[in-house]
Structure 1
């Protein structure tokens, strides 16, 4: 029994360690967010409601069918449903019936309600699609921020290792009388500054991890981490396209415009539905009823058979004057249509502006990345030159520290420019119509 308990203990410990050591890839983070994000779940409920509304609209084409039954016992003067006379007696009676009604014409509102429900469902799908794109970008941005902070921490930690080696080397040169003791103090001051920068970088990394974990609704912040993936710059050629072509594709594919277009179509249906109230309504009806009373000597079944009756016919309702409510509803729906048309135009203008901004951002971030790379090459040569001179005592510790600081900052700037360019490039690809789940990093 003790062996079994020990094995179970080891199993659960191993399982816990495995669970805690899981490192999330970007694809896993995006998939988890799309499956668990509360806003997306709410959007899925909106789509479910749209399906219900569509079933309601289709149900309007079916006839209504209702059954009724009642029973009563009266003592005193009461109406005998069999004889049709008023009698002073104790009377027990039962009545029942079935009624059906079917709308033949109501200004085509049934058809338009189905059309409106279909449009509403499409609008809900476009809203969910936009939300998924937004969530994907949020996750990607948070993920890249963690990678950037990790890379920056690696740069500072690696350079601090060099600084520690230089402290040991400088101490030897000072003891040998080659360098003054002030150089050793300068290098130690640089070490203290780097340790402070390491602490800042570690805090930035922790905060970025917490931010992404919260976005993914993961509460175990302490053990959350991402995979150490190497992201390269993958350009599908979209950044080299003409901006007008990207804008044209965005207007065709982006959900922002499609949502606004569907809202206009919905408003148009509202106008048609409001105008439908001007038309008469024609309905067909059919009814069957029967009754029983204990005052009749006949038995229950015979009475139901003899006392039954049917009614059927057509019902026409012609609107003449309803306090101008129909006219006002039509005018109100026209105002709503005009408002949605304005919103569509604004959505197109906003999208065009956003695409221009994304296009300019990509071009600018790429130039910044190229400039940072060029600066890194120059600073690396300058740093190596300063290091060689310092190792043989031809330069002082302050000049060497300044060269090393510039080199460190340039490496950090290259990391920042790289991930900034990757993110902005993916934003532009989304505007061009690349699905969020198919973005390549």
Structure 2
């Protein structure tokens, strides 16, 4: 993916400031791991829980297809049964079926064992199994593309947190550079006060600006720490204790270099959202064909073979080689003549679901076209703002330089100097922030197109393992 970093004099100030902050962080006992964007994304692909869960769901695609393919194969069952029973009879029946008292009352015990194997095979089901297999394939694709969409979302979130961390570092560097400038202004004001060129109130004003800037630096250091914690959570690597981000900052470019039509065409092909919608349509088509196949006759074959033993007392208990045996073979033809309009209702329902799925595809394509177009407009706006902010910063820096020189010559008041300082500080902050706004807009465009992983050069499959 295209990177975004500050250039010119502002870039030197920011990079120097970031280097100073990293050096301070390295002063702690724990080793600091400095990550590039690609390294952060690669670590997230190995350790982020949501990313790993999405990859795990992708592994179900193969078993789901094998399950659907199994409908073409026979079912095989093997069973073994053994048991014992007993009974006591105090009455019996005479030759005419009348109950009489049993003169010799006792308990009779019997045992039995049986073994059996059964094979069933559907020979003809009107093509329903083929349609079910197609539906299973389409459903597996839906789930895989849904998981791929989650992968892109996770990678986009990691990159977003990485940019936030870079942004906080750059903002802290700007504030520390401004702090150094305020310290220099304070020293100049003190010298002018010693020369009786300015009054005590101007010295206090410079000191107030200095303390205000020190507060800003402390606040941004806290923001940097929180940004690093958020990035560490997004990556999910338990081995990351202390981390920092690469000093290279985002570098804007003219969006005109992007072919919007080609990007949109690629998004319509590669977007997991569009792919999932089309796969859902295929599921609906296969379901409709499967339901229609329910009107055709079915032909099935069933066979079995069994061995059994039945003895008195416990003789047949746990018998592994019974001598009695038997078998069966049957061929069944079933013709669905009338099912109380159930089949007609199922066909109508499946047909409506298919038509709605087709509209879902159209709606998803329209949403994608609008989203990609909107994100591209945001990118163009961000680029125009970058150029405007750079021009404003150049003007503010030039004005501050002139006012500082005139202040040293006592031709400008302290208030005019403070105004120029505030304007330059605001312009410098805005210039840095706008570059990261551009980076965020570019990430939003890639996320909308569903190509975050591709632009990052990462594979969203188990092959990366």
* TM-score, structure 1 normalization: 0.83
| Alignment match, 2:251 | 233
| Alignment match, 1:57 | 68
CA pair 66-219 structure 1, distance change in 2 beyond 3 A: closer
Q: How far apart are the structure 1 equivalents of 2:110 and 2:237?
A: 72
* Structure 1 alignment gaps of length 5 or more: 1-15, 79-87
| Alignment match, 2:381 | 364
The CA deviation at 1:72 is 4.8
1:157 corresponds, among 173, 176, 179, to 176
CA contact (8 A) 2:153 2:447 kept: no
The CA deviation at 1:255 is 1.3
CA contact (8 A) 2:250 2:436 kept: no
The CA deviation at 1:379 is 0.9
CA pair 409-365 structure 1, distance change in 2 beyond 3 A: same
* Structure 2 alignment gaps of length 5 or more: 1-26, 90-105, 458-465
Determine whether 1:134 maps to 2:153: yes
1:192 corresponds, among 211, 233, 248, to 211
The CA deviation at 1:372 is 0.6
Residue 96 of structure 1: SS of its match in structure 2? strand
| Alignment match, 2:372 | 355
User: Please, what is the CA RMSD of the aligned residues?
Assistant: 3.0
CA pair 74-361 structure 1, distance change in 2 beyond 3 A: closer
The CA deviation at 1:387 is 1.0
CA pair 90-400 structure 1, distance change in 2 beyond 3 A: closer
CA pair 320-291 structure 1, distance change in 2 beyond 3 A: same
CA pair 428-75 structure 1, distance change in 2 beyond 3 A: closer
Aligned length: 409
Determine whether 1:34 maps to 2:45: yes
Q: How far apart are the structure 1 equivalents of 2:86 and 2:169?
A: 91
CA contact (8 A) 1:40 1:131 kept: yes
The CA deviation at 1:123 is 2.1
The CA deviation at 1:75 is 5.7
Residue 59 of structure 2: SS of its match in structure 1? helix
Residue 65 of structure 2: SS of its match in structure 1? helix
Q: Deviations over 1:378-437 (max 9, x none)?
A: 111101111111122221111111101111111111111112112322443555675525
1:322 corresponds, among 333, 339, 342, to 339
Q: How far apart are the structure 2 equivalents of 1:64 and 1:215?
A: 47
Residue 287 of structure 1: SS of its match in structure 2? strand
Determine whether 1:409 maps to 2:420: no
| Alignment match, 1:420 | 437
CA pair 278-177 structure 1, distance change in 2 beyond 3 A: same
Residue 73 of structure 2: SS of its match in structure 1? coil
CA contact (8 A) 1:239 1:425 kept: no
CA contact (8 A) 2:81 2:114 kept: yes
The CA deviation at 1:322 is 3.3
Q: How far apart are the structure 2 equivalents of 1:188 and 1:367?
A: 37
Larger mean CA deviation between 90-99 and 112-121 belongs to 90-99
CA pair 47-98 structure 1, distance change in 2 beyond 3 A: same
Q: How far apart are the structure 1 equivalents of 2:383 and 2:87?
A: 98
| Alignment match, 2:81 | 70
Determine whether 1:375 maps to 2:392: yes
Larger mean CA deviation between 162-171 and 33-42 belongs to 33-42
| Alignment match, 1:206 | 225
Q: How far apart are the structure 2 equivalents of 1:352 and 1:27?
A: 28
Residue 226 of structure 1: SS of its match in structure 2? strand
| Alignment match, 1:332 | 349
| Alignment match, 1:23 | 34
* TM-score, structure 2 normalization: 0.79
Larger mean CA deviation between 153-162 and 320-329 belongs to 320-329
Determine whether 1:112 maps to 2:131: yes
Residue 283 of structure 1: SS of its match in structure 2? strand
CA pair 106-19 structure 1, distance change in 2 beyond 3 A: farther
Q: How far apart are the structure 2 equivalents of 1:210 and 1:43?
A: 23
Q: How far apart are the structure 2 equivalents of 1:259 and 1:39?
A: 19
CA pair 39-107 structure 1, distance change in 2 beyond 3 A: farther
| Alignment match, 1:249 | 266
What does 1:82-97 correspond to in 2, within 5 Å?
Answer: 91-97=110-116
CA contact (8 A) 2:43 2:237 kept: no
CA pair 220-385 structure 1, distance change in 2 beyond 3 A: farther
